[in-house]
Amino acid sequence: MIIKKVIAQQAKLAKVAARKLAGLSTEQKNSALLEMADALEKNQSEIISANSEDVAAAKKKGTRANMIDRLTLTPERISAMAEGLRQTAELKDPIGEEDFHTERPNGLKIRRVRVPFGVVGIIYEARPNVTVDAAALCLKSGNACVLRGGSEAIRTNQKLVEILNAAATSVGIPEHAIEFVAITDRDAVLSMCRLRKLIDVIIPRGGAGLITRVVEHATVPVIETGTGVCHIYVDKAANFEIALPVVLTAKISRPSVCNAMETLLVHKDIAEDFLPKISKLMIENKVELRGDEVSRKICPEMKAATEEDWSTEYNDLILSVKVVENLDAAIDHINKYNTEHSEAIITDDKVAAKKFQTLVDAAAVYVNTSTRFTDGFEFGFGAEIGISTQKLHARGPMGLEALTTMKYLIDGNGQTR
């Protein structure tokens, strides 16, 4: 109960700040972002000192080397954060945009304009740069934020927020625009998710476990992000010169990310030709292959896939492989096991491509290219607060616009009803 009270108090302060943020001009917000960028660079040594405590604690706990690497800040990484702030200042401010207006027969003038949510809650596990990115995108979109980062980066995150807030308030941003929840207890997440009327939307960024926990307990509206069981289907009309490099890189270029391929589906008519080729490439690149029965008849070097494999996000150099009867079977498999993130077909058959794009249920559906392109920068949005895997409000890479809502403004002259 104490945890809930503490976080509720932070959210209340953020709500007060949010009312003021909603009225700030683009110039005010941009000058704060630039000030924040400078402050990060000016206070580099303080940040690195806080960070080294986090790193030391993580090493003591026996944290894996790749996690230590993610956690560790260097002058270059701090400059990259500052650069991110400066780039956010360059982005178009969505607030105040009018996307609809009408005048009704009774004379009412109705406009619909874009406004901030108010208070955005972000729960994340990842690297400390998320703290800076999230604060920047929320500020630019006129929102206050309540941030809850992973416990392993707590000292770094606290220091970052302290510096960002000091810089922001020095140029007129209201206090408490960026609130950081310093409670590492897991209950903090659950408490945050239930602060209706204080937090307007919750965005969890992290693994499936975190996201499920948030969705299960939240009463505040949630935008789900991130988990990706992505498929590439190699159709019978596929051009292998496209299929082989696309499939290979979609697995190996960065296996830990949500838009990496987890399952390869291959049309039965080309399986005997295609599978040995891709299997060889994958094995050369240290990918473990888990095939269904038909795949393993063609490529006995594959391990046997179990039912669980079809719905697993490996985030690793592992690939499940299945031979399908036809396009419909591929679509059915995807719609049964996917997380509605990103899916691709490799084919020269335009009818098949169109059917695939129409019937596959996912945020992004690709033809003759890789699922790895689902990303705010790749889509040209300039920044990204996460990739929505739900259908409500935002789908796919979320830029600034996803952090806003609409409001109807109606002007009359005494109309009654």
- Backbone φ, ψ for residue 149 (5° rounding): -90, 175
Looking at 176-239, list the stretches that DSSP marks H as alpha helix, in order from N- to C-terminal side.
187-193, 208-217
Q: Vertex 83, ends 82 and 89: CA angle to 5°?
A: 95
As a whole number of angstroms, the longest Cα–Cα distance in the chain is 79
Residue 180 engages a copy of itself in binding (rule: CB under 8 A): no
Q: Vertex 336, ends 399 and 283: CA angle to 5°?
A: 80
Q: How far is the CB of 393 from a copy of itself (least distance, A)?
A: 4
Residue 357 engages a copy of itself in binding (rule: CB under 8 A): yes
Residue 92 engages a copy of itself in binding (rule: CB under 8 A): no
- Count residues contacting a copy of itself (CB under 8 A)? 67
**Window 108-137: residues binding a copy of itself (CB under 8 A):** 108, 110, 117-118
Residue 102 engages a copy of itself in binding (rule: CB under 8 A): yes
Q: Residue count of the chain, please give it.
A: 417
Q: How far is the CB of 286 from a copy of itself (least distance, A)?
A: 18
Residue 208 engages a copy of itself in binding (rule: CB under 8 A): no
Is residue 133 within 8 Å of 86, Cβ to Cβ?
A: no
Q: How far is the CB of 363 from a copy of itself (least distance, A)?
A: 6
Residue 308 engages a copy of itself in binding (rule: CB under 8 A): no
- Backbone φ, ψ for residue 320 (5° rounding): -95, 145
Residue 416 engages a copy of itself in binding (rule: CB under 8 A): yes
Residue 242 engages a copy of itself in binding (rule: CB under 8 A): yes
Q: How far is the CB of 160 from a copy of itself (least distance, A)?
A: 27
Residue 87 engages a copy of itself in binding (rule: CB under 8 A): no
Which residue is listed with tokens 């693994």? 207
Q: How far is the CB of 241 from a copy of itself (least distance, A)?
A: 7
Name which of 215 and 317 has its Cβ closer to a copy of itself. Answer: 215
Residue 414 engages a copy of itself in binding (rule: CB under 8 A): yes
What is the per-residue binding string for a copy of itself in 362-391, x denoting contact by CB under 8 A? xxxxxxxxx-xxx---xxx---------xx
Looking at 2-74, list the stretches that DSSP marks H as alpha helix, in order from N- to C-terminal side.
2-21, 26-42, 44-60, 65-71
Residue 23 engages a copy of itself in binding (rule: CB under 8 A): yes
DSSP string, 225-254: B----EEEEE-TT--HHHHHHHHHHHHHS-
Element containing residue 385 per DSSP (H, E) = none
Judged by CB under 8 A, the stretch of 71-79, 268-276, 299-307, 356-364 that binds a copy of itself is 356-364
Is residue 375 within 8 Å of 384, Cβ to Cβ?
A: yes
Residue 141 engages a copy of itself in binding (rule: CB under 8 A): no
Residue 238 engages a copy of itself in binding (rule: CB under 8 A): no
Is residue 287 within 8 Å of 263, Cβ to Cβ?
A: no
Radius of gyration over alpha carbons of the chain, in Å?
24
Give the span between the Cα atoms of 233 and 88, in whole angstroms.
Answer: 36
Residue 209 engages a copy of itself in binding (rule: CB under 8 A): no
Give the span between the Cα atoms of 162 and 124, in whole angstroms.
Answer: 18
Residues that bind a copy of itself (CB under 8 A): 19, 22-23, 102, 104, 108, 110, 117-118, 196, 200-201, 215-216, 219, 221-223, 239, 241-242, 245-246, 248-250, 253, 335, 353, 357-359, 361-370, 372-374, 378-380, 390-393, 395-396, 405-417
